Amino acid sequence: MDTRIAIIGTGMTHFGELWGVSPRQLASDAVSQAVVDAGLTKKDIQGIFVANMLSGMLGLQGHLGALFAEELGIQVPAYTVEGACASGGLALHTAMMSIASGKYDTVLVLGVEKMTDHSPEEVSSALMGAGSNEERLAGATFPGLYALLAKSHMQKFGTTERHLASVAVKNHFHASLNPKAQFQKSIPIETILKSPLVADPLKLLDCSPVTDGAAAVILQRKKTSTSSHCVEICASQIATDTLGLANRSSLLELRATRYAAHAAYIEAGITPKEIDIVELHDCFTIAEILAIEDCGFTEKGEAGKMIEKGMFTLGSAKRTVVNSSGGLKACGHPVGATGVKQIVELADQLRGRCGKRQVKHAHIGMAHNVGGSGATAVVHIVKSV
Amino acid sequence: MKQKKNAKIHAGIVGYGTYIPQYRIRTVDIARVWKKKEEDIISGLGIQEKAVSAVDEDAVTISVEAAHAACQDAGIQPKVIEALLIGSESHPYAVNPTATIVGEMLGIGHQYFAADLEFACKAGTAGIVMIAGLIQSGQISFGCAIGADTAQSKPHDALEYTSASAGVAFLLGNTSLIAELLHSTSYSSDTPDFWRRDGIRYPSHAGRFTGEPAYFTHVMGAAVRLFEETNTKPSDFDYCVFHMPNGKFPREVGKRLGFTSEQLALSLTVDAIGNPYSASSPLGLAATLDKAKPNQKIFMVSYGSGAGSDAFMWKTTGNITKFQQKRKKMKRFVEDAVREKTYIDYVTYLKQTHKI
Amino acid sequence: MISPVKIWRNQKDITKMLGKIGTVIAWTIIRVPPTGFMKQAPYPLALITFDDRTRIMVQIVDCDGSNLEIGTKVRLVVRKTIETTEDGIIPYGIKAKPINKLLS
């Protein structure tokens, strides 16, 4: 990429059940933080790229570009990018293209989701908007679709329910060090294993929660004259696969992840070994196992064992730290905001601002954001320069 | 197809398909809930257990199962069906024909006549009479008559022990018959023994009035008419089939008409699966046809409350053996479906019949 | 009430699927159902493959999952699918029923 794009400001709300907070307030909170962090005012923003999935389906509110532009008091170009749970990563990619095209210099990427206004059944059904019609007619849910992937992985590679639970243990531990995470306490593995089944073998605590939240980043074209230490996005890749699981070529991987990650490594000119921290899309524990393998951090089939042994955890040396924020599982998963939050975490880590969960010497970070059961995968690589 | 004037067209069964839902509830398990003595119920009704539809089954899905099996086993493409009549007491809609929903799913196409029928438990056999008429008059070559029900009954009512679910589809034509319809006749009256008002969920009945003045009068009435019109007597038949509201009535009416228990035995599906209303005597006929040899005569009388009976004289042909072999190979005999079962308890029964 | 037009369109695929025999390649049990499937839950959800290598995702019926495994043979049947209002058009769709163990 010829144009160099820097992340100059980040912000995010608490993630959780924010009953009294409206989508407008969520956005306002996250954007204010980002604007202050960037040392700018709102008037410096030239475009807004909104990431959201459910506002139209559940809240009957579309046209979010105009809504948030109004809320922020700036009449700039603004529109929504949607790709289910990958909306955040896709909005970031779109924002980058807008800068690279020369059209804008400074833009805002805002991921927002309000999920707790509706019953769990309504939310579950709305989320299936990310799947295929056939899957909806079959009574599938997202836990169900990922359960099919989990069972296939367990059948082929001997991955166990304990391996799955280990992902949750790690991410809850990380979240306990993240003041903005939905869950603030570590959870023992036995508690996870004893939680009620949602879709065999996935239990309640194998699944990411229903969350409200917003995250914002401000991107700016980097002028070559600027010498200051900053965080740059050096790769942004998207891959798509079939909408429904039935037509995938394999149930043992998310091929879109593999393609997007591979393309990102080439674009950034690096290998997985050089990644210090990675935010992977752990909508379910099995999803993190698949992501670690599909991004090339381990051989296929090995991730479960390695997580159980403590690798990829904060404080364990020599390996990439996975989901220092707590991931979707423990930091929370406000669908449209997640992809943006991942970038917020990476940028904050690279700038040494993560306090108790700081990954030492973090220099290169990666974000992996998935839509549906793997129909879209977006990978970004950021580095401090 | 143009027929010579006065040339008699022989109508009959080309093939048939049957479907019984997998679930069973034992009558003793129902009796226990209402603190009735189990022996009383069984001796009174003669039914051990009844077939219960799954929560996602209805007269449409059951009809499709039966008709699909019939077409497969008869080697018939659904597109050749020119008329489809479905009789039921549990049509899913008061207005919107079960017949065309089923016809569309089977792939009959659009070049056919369709209608839904109601006449309590004889809605299925009414369809047979009407399709046979269309064939005999030369208007169609192939037709399908289905009797299918997911019968409802009020909890704690006597009907709770007998109301069941099943479906039978008869493919009727004028060639390659496996059983020829030699004659049919009917007996009808206005007799309010059992009824359900529009919009009301459960049927009501008039207790013992459903016996002599209703079931027996009409079954015997149609049976006697059939004997007279065909100049036959019970010993001229190999088998008999009667509508089976419980285990007692068909046995009693058979005896009164002069049939032996051996002639009746093959048809008594009621003992194992209860009374699936519009599919009752059709299922009894199917169970008999599963085992009958070529050139055997079957005497059949249905009964529908309100009230009426349709009586039929069937004669199997040499083609029946091949058809039976196909059904046997596919494990589609009535006795196979009777054996393929999963027991459920009363609460599950209430769930599956949409009472909770 | 679900759109009758959508229901009508979705049901057009039924004829060609009815009666097909397939094999289970992956399955789970949905214990927390989405809206419209409450009365049916818990139920198995499976990926089925056919001789022509095509695949579909369906609910498995008349089966509590205890006898289900990869390789189980199933037959496609028609059943009611999404639970709807009392006054709406009833959606029907394709589900899969394990084949009688006595057969094959």
Residue C104 domain-assigned? no
pLDDT on residue B43: 78
For residue B23, which residues of chain C lie inside 8 Å, CB to CB? 62
Do A and C share at least 3 CB pairs under 8 Å? yes
Asked if omega into A209 is within 30° of 0 (cis), the reply is no
For C63, the closest chain B residue by CA position comes to: B342
pLDDT in tens, B98-122: 999 999 999 999 999 999 999 999 9
Does residue B247 lie in a domain region?
A: yes
C34 in a structural domain = yes
Average pLDDT, chain A: 96
Using a CB-CB distance cutoff of 8 angstroms, which residues of chain C are in contact with residue B54?
61-62, 79
Q: Total domain count for chain B?
A: 2
- Provide the annotated active-site residues of A: 85, 333
How many angstroms separate the CA atoms of B266 and B284, rounded?
7
Please check whether residue B4 lies inside any domain of the structure. no
pLDDT in tens, B268-294: 999 999 999 999 999 999 999 999 999
What value does the mean pLDDT take over residues A301-313? Answer: 96
Give the number of B-C residue pairs with CB atoms closer than 8 Å: 62
> Nearest CA to CA, how far is A215 from chain C (Å)?
28
Q: How far is the C-alpha of C14 from the C-alpha of B2, rounded, in Å?
A: 35
Q: Which residues of chain C does A121 touch, with a Cβ-Cβ cutoff of 8 Å?
A: 33-35, 38
Beta-carbon separation of A139 and C10 below 8 A: no
CB pairs under 8 A between A and C: 95
- Residue B126's closest CA among B243, B255, B295? B243
Q: Express each pLDDT in A32-54 by its tens digit.
A: 999 999 999 999 999 999 999 99
Instruction: Give the closest of C31, C57, C70 to A134, CB-based.
Output: C57
* One domain for residues B149 and B185: no
In a domain, B70, yes or no: yes
B66 & B137 share domain? yes
A2 falls in which pLDDT band (50, 70, 90)? confident
Domain total for chain C?
Answer: 1
Inter-chain touch B105–C92, beta carbons under 8 Å: yes
Query: What range does the domain containing C12 cover?
Result: 4-98
Residue B6 lies in a domain: no
The closest CB to that of A121, out of C35, C43, C56, belongs to C35
Are B305 and B340 within one domain? no
Q: Write down the pLDDT at residue A225.
A: 57
- Indicate if B19 and B120 belong to the same structural domain: yes
Return d(Cα B126, Cα B83) in angstroms, integer: 14
The model's pLDDT over B152-161, given as tens digits with 9 standing for 90+, comes to: 999 999 999 9
pLDDT digits (tens, 9 = 90+) for B182-213: 999 999 999 999 999 999 999 999 999 999 99
Q: Chain C: nearest CA to A119, how far in angstroms?
A: 10
pLDDT class of B1 with cuts at 50, 70, 90:
very low
Say if residue B58's pLDDT is above 80: yes
Token duo for residue A86:
């990958």
| Residue B102 to residue B100: CA distance in whole angstroms | 5
- Out of C28, C57, C81, the one facing A244 most closely (by C-beta) is C57
**Co-location of B78 and B168 in the same domain:** yes
Cβ neighbours for A3, distance < 8 A, ≥ 6 positions apart: A99, A100, A102, A221, A222
User: At C74, which CATH number?
Assistant: 2.40.50.840
CB A175 within 8 A of CB A314: no
Report the run of H or E that residue C74 belongs to, with start and end.
strand C73-80
Contacting residues of C for A202, CB less than 8 Å apart? 28
Query: Quick one: pLDDT at residue B41?
Result: 81
Asked whether residue B112 falls in the same domain as residue B41, the answer is: yes
C34·A141 Cβ contact <8 A: yes
The reply to whether C58 falls in a domain is yes
Query: In this structure, what CATH number is given to the domain that contains residue B86?
Result: 3.40.47.10
> B114 - beta bridge partners?
B84
| Residue A236 vs residues A96, B132, B266, C59, C69: alpha-carbon distances, Å | 8, 71, 73, 38, 41
Q: Which of B220, B189, B159, B150 is nearest to B305 (CA)?
A: B189
pLDDT exceeds cutoff 80 at A228 = no
Q: Distance between CA B198 and CA B220 in Å, rounded?
A: 30
Q: Is C11 an 8 Å CB contact of chain B?
A: yes
pLDDT for residue B3 = 42
Q: Write the pLDDT tens digit of every residue in A171-206.
A: 999 999 999 999 999 999 999 999 999 999 999 999
Q: pLDDT tier at C104 (50, 70, 90 boundaries)?
A: very low
User: Do the Cβ atoms of C26 and C56 come closer than 8 Å?
Assistant: no
**A245 → chain C, closest CA residue:** C57
* Same-domain pairing of B289 and B348: no
Whether B5 maps to a domain, the answer reads no
Q: How far is C101 from chain A (nearest CA, A)?
A: 24
Inter-chain contact C61–B58, Cβ cutoff 8 Å?
no
CATH number for region A140-206+234-384: 3.40.47.10
Higher per-residue confidence, A205 vs B1: A205
For range B8-21, the mean pLDDT:
96
B121 is catalytic: yes
pLDDT number for residue B46: 86
DSSP code for A369: E
Q: Which of B170, B103, B203, B175 is nearest to B310 (CA)?
A: B170
Q: Which of C40, C79, C102 sits opposite B61 (nearest CB)?
A: C79
Give yes or no: residues B220 and B163 share one domain: no
pLDDT digits (tens, 9 = 90+) for A268-285: 999 999 999 999 999 999
| ipTM, interface predicted TM-score of the complex | 0.95
Is C57 close to A138, i.e. CB distance below 8 A? yes
- Does residue C84 belong to any structural domain of this protein? yes
Q: How far apart are CA B47 and CA B27, in angstroms?
A: 7
- Angle of CA points B324, B325, B329, to nearest 5°: 120
> For B125-131, what is the mean pLDDT?
98
Residue B264: inside a domain: yes
CATH topology for the A5-119+211-221 domain: Peroxisomal Thiolase; Chain A, domain 1 (3.40.47)
Comparing CB atoms, the residue among C61, C100, C102 nearest residue B54 is C61
Residue C32 to residue A133, Cβ atoms within 8 A: no
Asked if B22 and B147 sit in the same domain, the reply is yes
Distances (CA, A) of B153 to B52, B121, B356, C86: 12, 14, 14, 19
Cβ contact, residue pair A121, C29, below 8 Å? no
Residue C80 Rama label (left phi>0; alpha psi -120 to 50; beta) = beta
- Clarify whether B89 is annotated catalytic: yes
pLDDT of B34? 94
Residues B37 and B153 occupy one common structural domain: yes
Report the range of poorest mean pLDDT among A216-230, B15-29, B309-323, C51-65. A216-230
Residue B308's domain comprises: 180-316
Question: Quick one: B172 and B259 in the same domain?
Answer: no
Residue C63 lies in a domain: yes
DSSP codes, A326-337: -IIIII---HHH
- pLDDT value of position B5: 46
Q: What is the pLDDT of residues B202-258, one digit of tens each?
A: 999 999 999 999 999 999 999 999 999 999 999 999 999 999 999 999 999 999 999
Neighbours of chain A (3+ CB pairs under 8 A): C
Question: In this structure, are residues A198 and A204 in contact, taking their beta carbons and an 8 Å threshold?
Answer: yes
Residue B109 lies in a domain: yes
Q: Which of B18, B19, B52, B56 is the mutation pick for testing C, counting most C CBs within 10 A? A: B56
Q: Among C14, C15, C99, which would you mutate to test the B interface (most chain B Cβ atoms within 10 Å of its Cβ)?
A: C15
Q: Are C19 and B92 a contacting pair at CB < 8 A? A: no
Percent of chain A with pLDDT over 70: 98
Give the dihedral of Cα atoms A352, A356, A357, A362; nearest 10 deg. Answer: 30
Res. B94: pLDDT tops 60: yes
> How many angstroms separate the CA atoms of B167 and B282, rounded?
8
What's residue A318's pLDDT?
72
- Whether B6 shows a pLDDT value over 60: the answer reads no
Sheet hosting strand A48-51, strand order edge to edge? A78-81, A48-51, A106-113, A213-221, A5-12, A231-240, A376-384, A364-371, A277-279, A321-322
User: Could you tell me where in chain A the CATH 3.40.47.10 domains are found?
Assistant: 5-119+211-221, 140-206+234-384
Asked if pLDDT for residue B24 goes beyond 90, the answer is yes
pLDDT of amino acid A316: 85
Domain check: are B122 and B142 in the same one? yes
| Whether C18 and B68 lie within 8 Å, measured CB to CB | yes
